[in-house]
Amino acid sequence: MKKLLVTLLASAFALTAFAQAPKSDTAPKSPTATEKKDEKAAKAKARADKKEARAKAKADKKEAKADRKEAKAKAKADRKEAKAEKKAETK
């Protein structure tokens, strides 16, 4: 009987304590105007950085292509010169 009384008293205490506990905010909060602005600014900066990186990569690619073209032309000139020297030696 004592156990029943103690259990009943404990459950009543638990119910009152639970009823007074602050309720958690489960609804998602909509972002404030400043948060929206910050988010937009961050996205715009990310897009600008990405665009800048693409432009840099494109410029590097063009530069590498020009370097290859120059090296190819130099190699061709060297071969031509070596061929001319060899021809001059044989005469």
Under 8 Å between Cβ of 12 and 20:
no
Predicted pLDDT at 48: 95
User: Whole-angstrom Cα distance, residue 84 to residue 77?
Assistant: 10
Domain membership flag for residue 11: no
Predicted pLDDT at 85: 87
Q: How many structural domains are present in the chain?
A: 1
Residue 46: pLDDT band with limits 50, 70, 90: very high
Structural domain span for residue 72: 43-91
